[in-house]
Amino acid sequence: MDQNYLGLDQPTRYPRTSLAVAVEVLVHGPRSRAQLADRMNLSPASLTRLVKPLIAGGVLIEAEPVRSSALGRSSLLLDVVDDYRFIGVKLTADTAFAVLTDLRAQVLDSASLPLSATTPDDVVRTIQALVRSLARGATIDGVGITLGGRVRNGVVVDSPYLGWKQVELRQLASVVLDAPVHVDNDVIGLTNAEHWFGWGRGFPGFALLTIGAGIGYGLVLGDALVPTETGPVGHLPIDQGGPVCPSGHRGCLAAYATVGSITAAASVGHQRTLGFDEVIALAQEGDLIATRVLSDAAWAVGRAASMISDVTSVRRVILSGEAVPLAETAGDSLAAGLNQYRAVDVPPVDVVIQPADFFEWARGAAVVALQREFPRAPGPRAGIE
């Protein structure tokens, strides 16, 4: 199993293969030693050797036995010890959304606060308030923060939504939060969440395409996250005779399928300002203008998903983001875009539509922290006041 799949930053705490065993149990659920050995192509003796330090370190526990129909005997299942808590924070241009999760990224609580200002210090204070309200004095094993933009080693290189450049967000947040802090791009967080705990689980390769205020793109190949820049995918050329995006590109994906492009086209047609939800509602009521705008957008998304599949050879593409209802409302147009240039001997792309509100994006942020902090270092743990 690739180290990138593990997503772990502590390779010396346990042997690398032991870490792979722990992640296998975390991601896929309780397993017997025989099941683990078979799935990971290990001998029973090797598996026992690798599991021993994980049990001794409190990472794995022997759970209830399962009966083997072949031998008529029971074997103990191994499971993770879930006394972890993580907080994920997703930043938008005007709001911070946060969730509290357990070790398998199940949401236990959520909260949001408006951003009174978008200076780094003001945003960090809002994050601090959210973390305190969700932690309620309990120990937090890690805080993940994600946002739209380019992030390198905890530094926000560029975030157009917040107007930031070269902001050392991880360092600023670490000063006020009594927990390890990790910062990443929001699409990377959502891709990791789908990889370990969502529609990408069990697939060695898949792509994530998000549609909302912008276009996002995540890619997993060989069970490893592939570094991608989300911006260029938004400018995939779809139709040279199509509309123009704000960057001046004619007929690109962003010109068709962002919230802004959809509402702008529908608003021009109706000669009044429309919101995205209103466009969806009008289309569902049979409005011809809204139906045409959403059909064009869904067709463009289908074409983009088909291109991504053709280039990467992944057969599963997950569609997500705030604007994904367009794919549900105009499903026939999505299918038309997917299949327009498909060769007859190539299997169809397996498209999964996964709506995601901003709390789901925050869950992705929690997974960013989870992947970097599991298993935790031994030693005392203090709660967040």
Tell me the CATH number at 237: 3.30.420.40
Return the number of other C-beta atoms located less than 10 Å from residue 13's C-beta: 16
- Residue 196 belongs to a domain: no
On whether both 95 and 76 belong to a single domain, the answer is: no
What integer pLDDT is reported at residue 342 of this predicted model?
Answer: 84
Domain boundary among 20, 49, 80: 80
The domain that contains 67 carries what CATH number? 1.10.10.10
How far apart (Å, rounded) are the C-alpha atoms in residues 105 and 88? Answer: 10
On whether both 12 and 31 belong to a single domain, the answer is: yes
| Number of folded domains that form the chain | 3
On whether both 266 and 225 belong to a single domain, the answer is: yes
What integer pLDDT is reported at residue 298 of this predicted model?
Answer: 97
- Residue 58 belongs to a domain: yes
What integer pLDDT is reported at residue 242 of this predicted model?
Answer: 92
Beta-carbon contacts of 100 under 8 Å, excluding residues fewer than 6 positions away, are 85, 86, 87, 107, 108, 109, 110, 134, 135, 366
Could you read off the pLDDT of 251-279 as tens digits, one per residue? 999 999 999 999 999 999 999 999 999 99
What integer pLDDT is reported at residue 11 of this predicted model?
Answer: 44
- Residue 219 belongs to a domain: yes
On whether both 185 and 139 belong to a single domain, the answer is: yes
Two structure tokens written together for 181: 């802090």
Query: Facing residues of 265 across strands?
Result: none
What integer pLDDT is reported at residue 280 of this predicted model?
Answer: 96
What integer pLDDT is reported at residue 2 of this predicted model?
Answer: 42
On whether both 153 and 281 belong to a single domain, the answer is: no
Domain boundary among 80, 104, 125: 80
The range of the structural domain enclosing residue 242 comes to: 202-354
On whether both 153 and 19 belong to a single domain, the answer is: no
- Residue 379 belongs to a domain: no
CA distances to 79, 145, 233, 334 from 349, in Å: 34, 32, 18, 11
On whether both 142 and 207 belong to a single domain, the answer is: no
On whether both 122 and 264 belong to a single domain, the answer is: no
- Residue 320 belongs to a domain: yes
Domain boundary among 33, 61, 80: 80
Q: Are 131 and 177 contacting, i.e. CB atoms less than 8 angstroms apart?
A: yes
- Residue 261 belongs to a domain: yes
* Residue for token pair 């007859």: 344
What integer pLDDT is reported at residue 343 of this predicted model?
Answer: 81
- Residue 95 belongs to a domain: yes
On whether both 231 and 339 belong to a single domain, the answer is: yes
On whether both 142 and 164 belong to a single domain, the answer is: yes
What integer pLDDT is reported at residue 197 of this predicted model?
Answer: 96
How far apart (Å, rounded) are the C-alpha atoms in residues 113 and 284? Answer: 32
Q: Say whether the peptide bond before residue 243 is cis (omega within 30 degrees of 0).
A: no
pLDDT < 50 stretches in the chain: 1-12, 72-73
On whether both 101 and 212 belong to a single domain, the answer is: no
On whether both 64 and 128 belong to a single domain, the answer is: no
Q: Are 197 and 215 contacting, i.e. CB atoms less than 8 angstroms apart?
A: no
Could you read off the pLDDT of 169-226 as tens digits, one per residue? 999 999 999 899 999 999 999 999 999 999 999 888 999 999 998 899 999 999 999 9
Query: Facing residues of 56 across strands?
Result: none
- Residue 227 belongs to a domain: yes
Task: With CA atoms as reference, report the closest residue to 15 among 66, 65, 49, 64.
Answer: 49
